[in-house]
C-alpha cells in the first residue's frame, strides 16, 4: 500500500513531543529546558519536525521549587507544557502521565538531567522516518558513572535477561515512540509499571541508537541504590516467574539436605554406640528448613502483593494542574499533524 500524500503535494514533517519526568530538579530544570528548546528549534529549522512540537515537563510531587519553575517556563514559552501530579507517584508513573498528555506523531522520553543527550533525538527521528515505530537509546559508554553504578547497572540487565525478561541491554527510558506505539502502550492496565519491559512487549518494528552518556548538568541523581533495587525487583516480579520456580528448586534442595541429615543421624544411632543425643542434630534441620520456608513465603508474598495492588484497580496518579496544554494549538495545525503522520509513517502493509 502506498503512503497517503497531501493533495498540495507537500508532506509536512511529523510533530514531536518530548516528555520529561521531574522530581526535585530545580537545579537543572532551567538549563535543561533551554537546551531542549534549542534542540527542538534546530530540528524544526532542519525540517525534521512540525512547528506544533512541544515539551512536556511532569512534576512528580517535587518538594523544592521544581513546579514554580515549570509554571514560569510554560507561561513564558508556548512550546512548553507543565504537568503536575497531586503527589509523588514514582518515575514510571510520572512518565506514563506525561505520555498520556501528548497528541503528537512522535514522543521522546528523557530524564531531566539530560545525561542521555538530546542531540541524539535527530538520529531517532531519522530511524522513525525509516519506518521504525520504537527507537531505543542505548548507552555504549558510561564513563560519567561510578564504577559501582556501572557494575550494578550492567549486572542488573544481565540478571534480568537470564530470568527471561525481554530488555534492551543498557537502555533506560530514553526512547522515541510513534503515536500508534504510545496509544497501544496506554491501553495496558497494569498498576505496577515497568515501561522498559512493556515497550518491548508491544512488538512494533524497532531499532536502537547508540550514544555515550554525558555528565549530569547539576544536582544529584534521583535514583539512589534503594530506588534502583526497587525498580529492578518490580521488573522481575512484573515480567518473570523465575523466583517462583526457584522456590521449587530450593525446596528440592532443602529436602535433599534434610534427607541426608536424617540418614546421617540414623546411621550414627544404629551403627555407632557413641551417639550422644544433642541439640545440633535437631536445630540444624529445623533452622535450615525454617529459613527456607520464610524465604519462600516472602517471595510468594511479593507476588501476592502485586496481585492485591492490581485487583484494586486504583488510578496510577491524579493530575493536580496542567499549564500550557496542547489544546491551545490551532485546529489547522492539528490537521497538518494528522497529514504528517499519514505521509511520513509507512502503514503496516508497507513495512
Cell, residue 244:
517462583
Of 142 and 328, the structure prediction assigns the larger pLDDT to 142
Given pLDDT bands bounded at 50, 70 and 90, which one contains residue 332? very low
Given pLDDT bands bounded at 50, 70 and 90, which one contains residue 133? very high
Mean pLDDT for all residues in the chain: 79
Of 243 and 30, the structure prediction assigns the larger pLDDT to 30
Q: What is the pLDDT of residue 339?
A: 38
Percent of the chain predicted with pLDDT > 90: 41
264, pLDDT greater than 80 = no
Lowest mean pLDDT segment, chosen from 52-61, 230-239, 307-316: 230-239
Given pLDDT bands bounded at 50, 70 and 90, which one contains residue 348? very low
191, pLDDT greater than 90 = no
Q: HEC profile for the chain?
A: CCCCCCCCCCCCCCCEEEEEEECCCCCCHHHHHHHHHHHHHHHHHCCCCCCCCEEEEEECCCCCCHHHHHHHHHHHCCCEEEEEECCCCCHHHHHHHHHHHCCCCEEEECCCCCCCCHHHHHHHHHHHHCCCCEEEEEEEECCCCCHHHHHHHHHHHHHHHHCCCCCCCCCCCCEEEEHHHHHHHCCCCCCCCCHHHHHHHHCCCEEEEEEECCCCCCCCCCCCHHHHHHHHHHHHHHHCCHHHHHHHHHHHHHHHHHHHHHHHHHHHHHHCCCCCCCCHHHHHHHHHHHHHHHHHHHHHHHHHHHHHHHHHCCCCCCEEEEECCHHHCCHHHHHHHHHHHHHHCCCHHHC
Q: What is the average pLDDT across 258-274?
A: 69
Q: Are 173 and 113 in contact, with CB atoms under 8 Å apart?
A: no
Amino acid at each position: 500500500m502506498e503512503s497517503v500524500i497531501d493533495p498540495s503535494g507537500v508532506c509536512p514533517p511529523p510533530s514531536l513531543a518530548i516528555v520529561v519526568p521531574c522530581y526535585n530538579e530545580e537545579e537543572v530544570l532551567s538549563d535543561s529546558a533551554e537546551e531542549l528548546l534549542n534542540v527542538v528549534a534546530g530540528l524544526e529549522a532542519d525540517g525534521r519536525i512540525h512547528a506544533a512540537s512541544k515539551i512536556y515537563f511532569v512534576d512528580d510531587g517535587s518538594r523544592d521549587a521544581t513546579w514554580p519553575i515549570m509554571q514560569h517556563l510554560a507561561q513564558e514559552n508556548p512550546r512548553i507544557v507543565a504537568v503536575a501530579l497531586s503527589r509523588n507517584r514514582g518515575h514510571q508513573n510520572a512518565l506514563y502521565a506525561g505520555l498520556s498528555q501528548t497528541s503528537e506523531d512522535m514522543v521522546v522520553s528523557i530524564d531531566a538531567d539530560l545525561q542521555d543527550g538530546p542531540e541524539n533525538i535527530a538520529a531517532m527521528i531519522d530511524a522513525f522516518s525509516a519506518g521504525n515505530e520504537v527507537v531505543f537509546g542505548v548507552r555504549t559508554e558510561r564513563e560519567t558513572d561510578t564504577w559501582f553504578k556501572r557494575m550494578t547497572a550492567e549486572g542488573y540487565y544481565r540478571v534480568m535477561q537470564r530470568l527471561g525478561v525481554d530488555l534492551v541491554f543498557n537502555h533506560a527510558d530514553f526512547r522515541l515512540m510513534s503515536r500508534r506505539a504510545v496509544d497501544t502502550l496506554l491501553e495496558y492496565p497494569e498498576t505496577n509499571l515497568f515501561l522498559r519491559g512493556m515497550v518491548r512487549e508491544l512488538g512494533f518494528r524497532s531499532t536502537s541508537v547508540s550514544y555515550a552518556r554525558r555528565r549530569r548538568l547539576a544536582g544529584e541523581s534521583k535514583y539512589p541504590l534503594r530506588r534502583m533495587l526497587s525498580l529492578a525487583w518490580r521488573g522481575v516480579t512484573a515480567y518473570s516467574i523465575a523466583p517462583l520456580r526457584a522456590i521449587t528448586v530450593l525446596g528440592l534442595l532443602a529436602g535433599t539436605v534434610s534427607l541426608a541429615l536424617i540418614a546421617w543421624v540414623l546411621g550414627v544411632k544404629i551403627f555407632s554406640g557413641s551417639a550422644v543425643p544433642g541439640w545440633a542434630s535437631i536445630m540444624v534441620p529445623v533452622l535450615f528448613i525454617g529459613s527456607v520456608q520464610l524465604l519462600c513465603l516472602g517471595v510468594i508474598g511479593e507476588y501476592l502483593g502485586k496481585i492485591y495492588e492490581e485487583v484494586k484497580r486504583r488510578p496510577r496518579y491524579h493530575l493536580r494542574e496542567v499549564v500550557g496544554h496542547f489544546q491551545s494549538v490551532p485546529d489547522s495545525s492539528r490537521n497538518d499533524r494528522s497529514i504528517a503522520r499519514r505521509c511520513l509513517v509507512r502503514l503496516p502493509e508497507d513495512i
